[in-house]
Structure 1
Amino acid sequence: MMKRAPVFFISHGGPTLLEDQAKPGHFYNWLGQYLKDKLKPKAIVLISAHWQGVNDNHVFVDVSEKPKLIYDFYNFPDRYYKQTWDHKGSPQIANTVISLLDKAGFKGIGEEYGNDHGVWVPLKRAMMSNLDIPIVEVSTLSHENMEMHVKLGEALSPLR
């Protein structure tokens, strides 16, 4: 029997996490090693609360081959707005996500969006040596209906 990949809920904080030497920083160091040495995922699909769909059941999915970084934070030192990260996306996996969403009654919408700081800050910190793992960002719904968001997660569970 194949073991299912774990699901993580990650609180990311601000861009200062990139330099954090306390417990949050230690967690991301551990996560990077865990991904590299144990999980070895084919891709990482993240739902970010910094990107919302439209209408009741529309969900955006980033289809970028090379996601740009979105600096959606304010009043931090200039060095955080100059961050770069040479990571990749996966249009193929993004299209699989869209199909799973559509099959579950959502409307998956592919868009070349990039990665907001809720995605790139923690993953850049964790994955400096894991650049070969594609990242696909997914939006939340446009509302805060918990039941619908649970259904969204269930729709993506075949990816595990």
Structure 2
Amino acid sequence: MTRMPTYFISHGGGPWPWIENMRRQFAALETSLAAMPDELPEKPKAVLMISGHWEADGVRVMHAAQPPMLYDYYNFPPHTYEVVYPAPGAPEIAERAQALLDAAGIPATLDDTRGFDHGTFVPAAVIYPDADVPVFQVSMLSSYDPEAHFRIGRALAPLRDEGVLIVGSGLSYHNLREFGPQAEVPSKAFDAWLNEVLDLDPETRTDKLIHWEQAPHARTCHAEEDHLVPLFAALGAAEGGTATRVYHEDGIMGGVTASSWRFD
């Protein structure tokens, strides 16, 4: 089995692939997500998603064999609440993930009821539209603590050698009150900082990301860091790896600069 890379992806807005005008807006993102299978050494046994839309007091691991859908978005057209992404779960790999977390001193609980949130099923439907790769999620911690999420990533890293693709799904800019033209300056500055930091040596890179609030416009770009935290886990699972920006776009959602990276 060949080692898998990990990814941090900007997953776009709401159920965008099923809304024509939004899909046009996110055409470059769609292209980058659709290209991911060709960037991998082989087809994964499963995709492990750490989504910016699932947080808990302790780490939870999706364990259902056929996870339900969770439509955690609001005020979208009715048909977007009928979307079904029928990928199977990965209960045995979920148990392996729980064991790795427990062995690292990170208590983790299997969750048999959690469904795919849109931070997972939206990008997954573009990456694997045939839903022929099992998908499961690992929650963030509601503390958002950067060091804790680096530790989560490090604990899950052995899965990369077991055919599992680890994806942190968030957004490099996420401030629901500051989309539109007012996002242009802060998102561009923060995105440039992220790209510069991710190109540093691993030790310096990790330290700077742990102290991400020192970045330009940090709290404007992430008033709450739920969409940034998946980056820490994804990079923690590939901490010594090289970062490659695989998606970058200016002016989405009225003014936002956003990017995605692969770590290998």
Instruction: State TM-score, norm by structure 2.
Output: 0.55
SS of equivalent residue, structure 1 residue 50: coil
Provide, for residues 90-136 of structure 1, a one-character-per-residue CA deviation record: whole Å limited to 9, x for no partner. 1101100100110111111011212110000110122113x331111
Would you say the 8 A contact 2:11–2:123 is kept in 1?
yes
Looking at structure 1, the residues matched to 17 and 10 of structure 2 have their Cα atoms a distance apart, in angstroms, of: 11
Provide, for residues 49-105 of structure 1, a one-character-per-residue CA deviation record: whole Å limited to 9, x for no partner. 211121xxx200000100111000001111111101221001101100100110111
Looking at structure 1, the residues matched to 78 and 155 of structure 2 have their Cα atoms a distance apart, in angstroms, of: 39
AA in 1 matched with 2:72: D
Q: Once the 2 structures are TM-superposed, how far is the Cα of residue 33 of structure 1 from its aligned partner?
A: 4.6
- Stretches of structure 1 lacking an aligned partner (at least 5 in a row): none
Looking at structure 2, the residues matched to 33 and 84 of structure 1 have their Cα atoms a distance apart, in angstroms, of: 24
Looking at structure 2, the residues matched to 49 and 79 of structure 1 have their Cα atoms a distance apart, in angstroms, of: 23
Aligned to 1:85: 85
CA RMSD of aligned residues (A): 1.6
State the identity as a percent.
39
Alignment partner of 1:26 out of 17, 22, 31: 31
Looking at structure 2, the residues matched to 97 and 156 of structure 1 have their Cα atoms a distance apart, in angstroms, of: 6
Larger Rg: 2
Looking at structure 1, the residues matched to 68 and 139 of structure 2 have their Cα atoms a distance apart, in angstroms, of: 16
Aligned to 2:122: 121
- Stretches of structure 2 lacking an aligned partner (at least 5 in a row): 161-264
AA in 2 matched with 1:119: T
AA in 2 matched with 1:12: H
Would you say the 8 A contact 1:17–1:24 is kept in 2?
no
Residue 110 of structure 1 pairs with residue 110 of structure 2 = yes
SS of equivalent residue, structure 1 residue 93: helix
CA spacing shift, 1:69–1:33, aligned 2, 3 Å: farther
Looking at structure 2, the residues matched to 139 and 74 of structure 1 have their Cα atoms a distance apart, in angstroms, of: 21
Residue 40 of structure 1 pairs with residue 43 of structure 2 = yes
Looking at structure 1, the residues matched to 17 and 42 of structure 2 have their Cα atoms a distance apart, in angstroms, of: 23
Aligned pairs (5 A) from 1:1-160: 3-13=2-12, 14-18=14-18, 20-21=23-24, 22-34=27-39, 38-54=41-57, 58-112=58-112, 113-129=114-130, 131-160=131-160
Would you say the 8 A contact 2:66–2:89 is kept in 1?
yes
Aligned length: 153
Stretches (4+) displaced over 4 A? 32-35
When structure 1 is superposed on structure 2, of 67-76 and 11-20 the one drifting more is 11-20
